[in-house]
A and B are shown apart, each in its own frame.
Chain A
Amino acid sequence: MGFEEDVLKDFITEAKENLERLDEEFVELEQRPEDKELLSSIFRTIHTIKGTAGFFGFKTLEAIAHFAEDILSKLRDGLVVADEETIDMLLKAVDYIKAIIAALEETGKEPVDDTYLDFLVDLRNFAEKVAKRAEGGGAEAKEASPKEAPAAEASQASSPEEKKEEKGTETKEEAQAKAEAPREESSKTEEKTSKPEVPKPAASAPKKEDKSPPQVHLTETHVRVDVKLLDQLMNLAGELVLSRNRLVQIASRISDAELQNATQNLSLVTTELQEKIMKTRMQPIGNVFNKFPRIVRDLARSTGKKVNLRIEGADTELDRSIIDAIKDPLTHLVRNSIDHGIEDPDTRVQVGKPPVGTLVLRAYHEGGQVVIEIEDDGRGIDVRKIKQKAIEKGLITPAEAESMSDREALALIFRPGFSTAQKVTNISGRGVGMDVVKTNVEKLGGSIDIQTVLGAGTTVRLKIPLTLAIIPALVVTCEGQRYAIPQVSLRELVGLSPETRKNIHQIGDSEFFRLRGEMVPIVRLAKILGVEAQPRENESLVILNSGAMDFGLVVDEIWDSEEIVVKPLGKHFKDISIFAGATIMGDGKMALILDVVGISRKIGLKVEDVDRAKEEGAQAAYGEEEQQFILLFNVSPEEQFAIPLALVARLDKIKADKLEFVGGKEIVQYRGRSMPIIRLENFLPIQPLPEQEEYHLLVFAEGENEVAFLVSRIVDSIQTHVKLDERLYQIEGVLGSAIVKDKTTLFLDVYKIIEMHDPNFFVKIVPQEERPYRVLLAEDSPFFRQMIANYLVAAGYEVETAADGLEAWEKLQKESFDVLVTDIEMPRMNGLELAKKIRAEERLADLPIMALTSLAGEEDRRRGLEAGIDEYQVKLERAKVLEALANLLNRKYAKAA
């Protein structure tokens, strides 16, 4: 159905254009009545309309076009000359055709109105007359007075069959042509035109003169534009963006208010222009989705399954080039779902599912990307089978399979040479595996992800950028040259200082960086590029995701993030896989765009090195000085703030015009919801946020609730050991200060600030007791100590703090507590020692103990349990900590009671 609608739309658009041209051509024809070329062109246009109308079954339209074509063919063949009257008639026909097209566009149906039928009769009679004239030969036709013709013909508006009999002297050819025409006409028009044929034959003639065709003005709502032209426009818009960037750079050097204003205005207009032009290249994803009802139907039939296809979000728009590129991957995934996912009706009934399976194709926008989901309610993917298969295929060893998480095992599907089908069917087994699908999606800068529930179904999610032409990118430098890295591949940035360099480990031939307990392979950009690198003190590490793996790229400097216009490189560079193209920067110089997937292939990791890295990573994580990942940001450019990175749910950017003030609250439309905004200057005595075109959002989430800090700039995210000074700033919402990257940095108490903004943001877990539980919190880092104490107090606990294990031990001797919450890594006495000591003392043997750590590995947990710790949690996961604490207390004291 969608298909037909599409075709109809195309037909109408095309017909409208052609009809406009016809008007002109007819006028020209009056000047040059014997211009063969002109006549042929008109003939073709009418012929096309007739054909298409016949295809759709628009009888009236087809009949009008048919007779017009009839007349035109006589003109074209030079049998009659186009006089004023003939052209009048033809123009009228065009007017009627226009009216019908207009009605079609509006209602999708032909108008049911006698005037059309009356005209049809007139037209047919006229066609007859012309045919007659033609019979008499070209010379005679010229002599025939147009004035007497209508009257003479009007009386003959009887059955065409009759007329045929009347004429005895037709040539064979003509007879054939005539016989064909009326018969076609009668068969096509009879259903609708039974009336005019019989009851109104006489009336039609006198009416003829005063009856004017319905005047409709076909408004042009669409214009056909050559795709090439759009591409050129896109390029020019890209150029404009670059020139704008350049101008903005210059303007920022010359402080001139007028210039600033002008550039700002130019900047806004350019952005808007760029967006609008991008829009012209956008097409609804429905253009691809529409092909699937048929594919699904055919597949279901050939596999003996019953599948109901549901399409959602077909109007989601994507760049034309991307639409083309996702067609094949999508088809493959849909085939997979039907072939491997959805069970046959009998099996479905046996497991209590409806016999008809459901396949959902869904598209929607999310954070500047398009998400496409292929969801089925089939049997799901059996992770054990996948592991088994992977072992059989020699992709992994049984030992590896053992230690693999479900997620990792699912990722095996994307390995080259993997196919889950028990037998290769002619549907999915076409030599194209999921690895090809993945590669194709990644080529577009997208990612693919599978979620599956055994027995309940599978959802494959594709995340695809909206456009390939202009992309946000991070600009870095290496040996004096700039390179752009597409933002979609960017995970995080790490400054390499002597401090953070400690996390670089040389294992075998490869280098790894320990990132929150995970060993990430790193590689120097200079090495990948094959350029000579000067040793330097300060470098940066860019953590990238290639889809298949995370890896770190060591670069000299990190510049800015910028919107860049992707330009292809010439064919001399086709064999270089590490570049995705080039771009022109704001200063007119060029930068090469790095191909993250291409680079990841160049790292050349050895499997044994990766395994060793994993082991060492796990060991090194234990018993090393505690480090924190912090996010540095500015509100005003002068003051630097920090928060633990792990607390942030997401980082994002928004345009200033997306901010709204509703009901006294500042909010932003974010991912389809309204999210409250916190301006830190409203809660802390700090410099206010300057007006900017674009802001950064630090989004925090608690269950369904989300809230964001509005800040001007993200400075960096670094791993460091924070030595917090609590004395200097004793302000609510500030945990303390420290020097980070040579700047005094305020560490903010995120929980406190959110609570100041909205006391109901956090779900309170208040223990059901007449008096609050007393918590002893042992934590050496003042930063964490304060933060944890704050959220415990906020949740309704009474909290006493200790700076290390020994102090906690001393406090336990003097006072009584309901629970101990302790850090593991502490000076003087660590958490494990403290726990052992407590368990050894009879009076305290039953004290519930919860350990908090920055990283929770299975190994840590085991050691903790051995030492007598009841619960093990990650300290930054506030909600989990509170829930676990409440559960622990319930368990201990409910039992006792």
Chain B
Amino acid sequence: MPLPAETETKNLALSEDSRLFITFWLGGFLFALPVEEVVEINRSLDITPVPQAPSFVSGIINLRGQILTAIDLAKRIGLKRERESHHNVIIGRDDEPLSLLVEQVGDVVEIPVSQIEEPPEVIEGLDTSFVKNVCQLPEQLLVILDSEKLKVH
């Protein structure tokens, strides 16, 4: 799979005016969440469906004895999914953790704050109400999601 472009760096030492993001792929988009909002990333965990649950909820997963709600991120943000979402990006450090199901997890990228922009009003094929910021990478638009909005039930 195509990885984010050369701008990314493995060097975690941050200069003051840049931030680290975890990136992942879903429906052809490259999404990102700030590193500090992500608790962990897990490969496919068993999902138990919960009948009668909202359509964007895939079910529940067992994360080392804790039962988490698994959100079908593609459905949640109005996206056409291209492949099965098997990876769990677990967010929610201080409150109820949630698992966001994504197709593929990308790398950690460092983005200079100066390059982080307000989202455009329309991004084709995507509900922009969940988008906090965007960042134009050389090969791809990086869509930074608003985790607070994602947590709203």
| Cβ contact within 8 Å between B46 and A529 | no
| Cβ contact within 8 Å between A570 and B96 | yes
Q: How far is B52's CA from A578's CA once the two chains are assembled, in angstroms?
A: 9
Contact of B67 among A530, A576, A590 (CB under 8 A): A590
| Cβ contact within 8 Å between A238 and B153 | no
| Cβ contact within 8 Å between A571 and B50 | no
Which residues does chain A contribute within 8 Å of B51, judged by CB atoms? 529-531
Most chain A CB inside 10 Å of its own CB: which residue of B65, B69, B71: B65
- Asked, given contacts A567-B67, A571-B96, whether A588 binds B62 with beta carbons under 8 Å apart, the answer is yes
Determine if B144 is an interface residue (Cβ-Cβ < 8 Å): no
| Cβ contact within 8 Å between B53 and A235 | no
Least CB distance, B94 to chain A, in whole angstroms? 14
Q: Mark B49-65, 1 if CB is under 8 A from A, else 0.
A: 11111100100111001
Q: How far is B98's CA from A568's CA once the two chains are assembled, in angstroms?
A: 14
Q: How far is B46's CA from A401's CA once the two chains are assembled, in angstroms?
A: 54
Determine if A572 is an interface residue (Cβ-Cβ < 8 Å): yes
| Cβ contact within 8 Å between B49 and A481 | yes
Chain A residue with Cβ nearest B151? A571
| Cβ contact within 8 Å between A584 and B62 | yes
- Asked, given contacts A571-B153, A576-B53, whether A239 binds B65 with beta carbons under 8 Å apart, the answer is yes
Chain A residue with Cβ nearest B69? A570
| Cβ contact within 8 Å between B53 and A573 | yes
Which residues does chain A contribute within 8 Å of B48, judged by CB atoms? 481, 582, 589-592
| Cβ contact within 8 Å between A242 and B65 | yes
Contact of B62 among A574, A576, A578, A589 (CB under 8 A): A589
Determine if A349 is an interface residue (Cβ-Cβ < 8 Å): no
Q: Which of B47-103 contact A (CB under 8 A)?
A: 48-54, 57, 60-62, 65-69, 71, 96, 98
| Cβ contact within 8 Å between B60 and A569 | yes
Q: How far is B128's CA from A346's CA once the two chains are assembled, in angstroms?
A: 76
Chain A residue with Cβ nearest B61? A590
| Cβ contact within 8 Å between A238 and B53 | no
| Cβ contact within 8 Å between A574 and B50 | no
Q: Mark A203-238, 1 if CB is under 8 A from B, else 0.
A: 000000000000000000000000000000001001
Q: How far is B9's CA from A366's CA once the two chains are assembled, in angstroms?
A: 66
Q: How far is B153's CA from A235's CA once the two chains are assembled, in angstroms?
A: 26
User: Is the interface on chain B under 10, 10 to 19, 20 to 34, or 35 or more residues?
Assistant: 20 to 34
Q: How far is B60's CA from A589's CA once the two chains are assembled, in angstroms?
A: 10
Contact of A570 among B46, B49, B62, B98 (CB under 8 A): B98
Contact of B153 among A572, A582, A584, A590 (CB under 8 A): A572
Most chain B CB inside 10 Å of its own CB: which residue of A238, A530, A573: A573
Q: How far is B19's CA from A4's CA once the two chains are assembled, in angstroms?
A: 59
Which residues does chain A contribute within 8 Å of B52, judged by CB atoms? 529-530, 576, 578
Which residues does chain A contribute within 8 Å of B61, judged by CB atoms? 590
Which residues does chain B contribute within 8 Å of A576, judged by CB atoms? 50, 52-53
Q: How far is B50's CA from A582's CA once the two chains are assembled, in angstroms?
A: 10
Least CB distance, A53 to chain B, in whole angstroms? 42
Least CB distance, B95 to chain A, in whole angstroms? 9
Determine if A579 is an interface residue (Cβ-Cβ < 8 Å): yes
Most chain B CB inside 10 Å of its own CB: which residue of A530, A570, A574, A591: A570
Least CB distance, A209 to chain B, in whole angstroms? 60
Which residues does chain B contribute within 8 Å of A530, judged by CB atoms? 51-52
| Cβ contact within 8 Å between A584 and B67 | yes
- Asked, given contacts A584-B62, A589-B62, A590-B62, whether A579 binds B50 with beta carbons under 8 Å apart, the answer is yes
Least CB distance, B54 to chain A, in whole angstroms? 6
Least CB distance, A621 to chain B, in whole angstroms? 36
Q: How far is B67's CA from A589's CA once the two chains are assembled, in angstroms?
A: 11
Q: Mark B28-56, 1 if CB is under 8 A from A, else 0.
A: 00000000000000000010111111100
| Cβ contact within 8 Å between B65 and A582 | no
| Cβ contact within 8 Å between A582 and B57 | no
Contact of A573 among B50, B71, B98 (CB under 8 A): B50
Q: Mark A655-673, 1 if CB is under 8 A from B, else 0.
A: 0000000000000000000
Chain B residue with Cβ nearest A572? B153
Q: How far is B66's CA from A790's CA once the two chains are assembled, in angstroms?
A: 58
Most chain A CB inside 10 Å of its own CB: which residue of B53, B66, B68: B53
Contact of B46 among A569, A579, A589 (CB under 8 A): A589
Q: Which of A521-536 contact B (CB under 8 A)?
A: 529-531
Chain B residue with Cβ nearest A584? B62
Which residues does chain B contribute within 8 Å of A235, judged by CB atoms? 65
Q: How far is B68's CA from A568's CA once the two chains are assembled, in angstroms?
A: 10
Which residues does chain B contribute within 8 Å of A573, judged by CB atoms? 50, 53, 57, 69
Which residues does chain A contribute within 8 Å of B60, judged by CB atoms? 569-570, 582, 590, 592
Sampled A-B contacts (28; CB under 8 Å): A238-B65, A242-B65, A481-B49, A529-B52, A530-B51, A530-B52, A567-B67, A568-B67, A569-B50, A570-B69, A570-B98, A570-B153, A572-B54, A572-B57, A572-B71, A572-B153, A576-B53, A582-B48, A582-B60, A582-B67, A584-B62, A588-B62, A589-B46, A589-B48, A590-B46, A590-B48, A590-B61, A592-B60
For the complex with contacts A481-B49, A529-B51, A573-B50, 17 further pairs of A-B residues with Cβ separation under 8 Å are A235-B65, A242-B65, A531-B51, A569-B69, A570-B60, A570-B67, A570-B68, A570-B98, A572-B53, A572-B71, A572-B153, A573-B57, A574-B153, A584-B67, A588-B46, A589-B48, A590-B46
- Contact surface of A with B, Cβ cutoff 8 Å: 235, 238-239, 242, 481, 529-531, 567-574, 576, 578-579, 582, 584, 588-592
Closest 8 CB pairs of A and B: A570-B69, A529-B51, A590-B48, A239-B65, A572-B153, A567-B67, A576-B52, A571-B153
